Structure 1
Amino acid sequence: MVQYNPKDWIIFIFRFHKSDTFRQLFPMMVLIGLYTSGICYLEMAVWQLSESSHVKNIPIMHGLVGFVISLLLAYRTNTAYDRWWEGRKLWGSLVNNSRNLALKLSVMLKDDRDKLYFRRIIPVYASVLQKHLADEETSKTLFDDLDLEMDHHKHRPNQVARGLYQKANDLYVSGKITGDQLIVINSELQSFTDVCGACERIKNTPIPYSYSAFIKKFIFIYVMTLPFGYVFSLGYYTIPVVIFIFYVLASLELIAEEIEDPFGNDVNDLPTQKIASNIKKHIEEIL
């Protein structure tokens, strides 16, 4: 995730980060500029359209549909940000529940070997979940000195969660914790799978294809028809105007595409790997 100071306006304006949409759209902006230049030249030098031409009235269409496209892009951006923010809240709850489970176990358990087991396996869940959501392969070498057999063809977070439940049940059967204590830690154990399921819902449910495709086509047609009418009032100044309008509209769509899946490896995605590392650090301090 990009670290920045939201109060540094000057830096925002004149700095182009590698994730900036300007870098991604620059080739297309050049093509849009060349296209607009061609339309301007044809209308002004070749066709020599008069002020009475009906082509001059095309901006009326842009005024009518401009409000519609602004609503669509606003909804698109808000929906994508809601997914990003929900992902952040889910990982925040994973942090809190991991801490709560470690705190409760640190008081309940007297055997250092049992504490050591949970000290290692609780952070493993966050690490495995991070890689599971990022579609990365993990190996047993990730879990140093932890006797945890993993079948990588199955659901990996569920295997870790099962290990947590199994250990908690073994502690109850052996009399190291009471039934009431088992009930006390059950909510934290259950929350791990709840967080995983909610994250998978975000990961595996993209914006409907027809909706996303329609917005892209709408933006393309809207921008492609801009030069025809504005040449009469702006002349060759239509070129930078059309490029700027395309940059604004396409940037909103690109931003929405990037943040709608917050568990990837893009610059603006959630720092799940860092959060998992922080969970490991906090659990080791507690246990």
Structure 2
Amino acid sequence: MVQYNPKDWITFIFKFHKSDTFRQLIPMMIFIGLYTFSVGYLELEYWKMSEKSHLSNITIMHNMLGFVISLLLVFRTNTAYDRWWEGRKLWGGLVNNSRNLAIKLRVILKEESDREFFRKLIPGYASILSKHLTDEETSKQLYGNVDLEIDHHKHKPNQVAKMLFQKVNDLYEQKKISGDQLIILNSEVQSFTEICGACERIKNTPIPYSYSAFIKKFIFFYVMTLPFGYVFSLGYYSIPVVIFIFYVLASLELIAEEIEDPFGFDANDLPIEKIASNIKKHVEEIL
């Protein structure tokens, strides 16, 4: 995730980060510039059309559709940001639940061996979940005295959650915790699975194809028709104008594409591995 100072305007304006949409759109911007030049040359030099041509009135269509495309892009970016922010809230909840579980176990458990098990396995769940969401292989991991064997052909976070609850149930059967304490600890372990399911819902449910495809086609045809009307009023100055309009519209779509799946390796994705390491640090301090 990109770390930055939101008050540093100069850096934002004149520095191009590797995740900046400008770099990604350079090839298409060059094509749009050449396309606009070709249209302008044909209309002004080859066909020698004047401002009285009916084709100059095509800007009326752009004025009407500009409002529509702006609404679509606002809805698109808001929907994508909602998915990104929901993912952040879920991982914030995982941090809090991990701390709460560790605090309760620290008070309840008396034997160091039992604490050691949870000291390794609670952070292990966050680590496994981060790799599960980014599709990394975690076939087998060893945590000190705890042998945690993960079958990569099965749901990995569920296997860790099962080990956690199995240990809690064993503590109850060994009379190390009471029935009330079992209920309390069960709700904390259950919250891990609920967070995992919510993250998978975001990960496995993309924006509907027809909606995403329509916006891309809309932007493309909208920009490709701009030069036909603009060259009459702006001449060849329409080239940078059309390029800038394309850059703004396409950038909004690219930003939405990147943040709609917050669990990945893009520059603006959530730092879930760092969050998992923080969970490990906090749980080890508590237990």
Name the TM-score, length of structure 2 as normaliser: 0.99
Instruction: Indicate the residue corresponding to 1:167 in structure 2.
Output: 167
Aligned residue pairs total 287
Distance across 1 between alignment mates of 2:131 and 2:100? 23
Give the aligned residue type for 1:193: T
Distance across 2 between alignment mates of 1:139 and 1:14? 45
1:245 is aligned to 2:252: no
- Match of 1:148, SS? strand
Instruction: Indicate the residue corresponding to 2:191 in structure 1.
Output: 191
Distance across 1 between alignment mates of 2:7 and 2:239? 32
Instruction: Indicate the residue corresponding to 1:53 in structure 2.
Output: 53
Q: CA RMSD in A?
A: 0.8
Deviations 1:227-251, CA, capped at 9 Å, x for gaps: 0001110000000000000000000
Q: How does 1:116-265 map to 2 (within 5 A)?
A: 116-141=116-141, 143-265=143-265
Q: How far did 1:142 drift?
A: 5.4
Deviations 1:24-83, CA, capped at 9 Å, x for gaps: 001110010000010111111001112221100000000011000000000000000000
Distance across 2 between alignment mates of 1:138 and 1:145? 18
Instruction: Indicate the residue corresponding to 2:113 in structure 1.
Output: 113
- Match of 1:60, SS? helix
Distance across 1 between alignment mates of 2:254 and 2:51? 37
Q: How far did 1:138 drift?
A: 1.2
Taking a change above 3 Å as real, the CA distance of residues 10 and 142 of structure 1, as seen in their structure-2 partners, is farther
Instruction: Indicate the residue corresponding to 1:10 in structure 2.
Output: 10
Percent of aligned positions that are identical: 77
Instruction: Indicate the residue corresponding to 2:41 in structure 1.
Output: 41
Distance across 2 between alignment mates of 1:20 and 1:249? 14
Give the aligned residue type for 1:179: G
Instruction: Indicate the residue corresponding to 1:68 in structure 2.
Output: 68
Distance across 2 between alignment mates of 1:143 and 1:42? 70
Distance across 2 between alignment mates of 1:119 and 1:51? 76
Deviations 1:93-128, CA, capped at 9 Å, x for gaps: 000000000000000000100000000000000000
- Match of 2:148, SS? coil
Instruction: Indicate the residue corresponding to 1:77 in structure 2.
Output: 77
- Match of 2:159, SS? helix
Distance across 1 between alignment mates of 2:49 and 2:104? 80
Consecutive unaligned residues in structure 2, runs of 5 or more: none
Q: How far did 1:218 drift?
A: 0.1
1:88 is aligned to 2:88: yes
**Contact 2:133-2:264 at 8 Å conserved across structures:** yes
Give the aligned residue type for 1:81: Y
Q: How far did 1:149 drift?
A: 2.6
Instruction: Indicate the residue corresponding to 1:99 in structure 2.
Output: 99
- Match of 1:147, SS? strand
Q: How far did 1:267 drift?
A: 0.5
- Match of 2:11, SS? helix
Distance across 1 between alignment mates of 2:42 and 2:234? 15
Give the aligned residue type for 1:277: S
Distance across 2 between alignment mates of 1:144 and 1:229? 70
Taking a change above 3 Å as real, the CA distance of residues 144 and 152 of structure 1, as seen in their structure-2 partners, is farther
Q: How far did 1:144 drift?
A: 4.4
**Contact 2:142-2:148 at 8 Å conserved across structures:** no
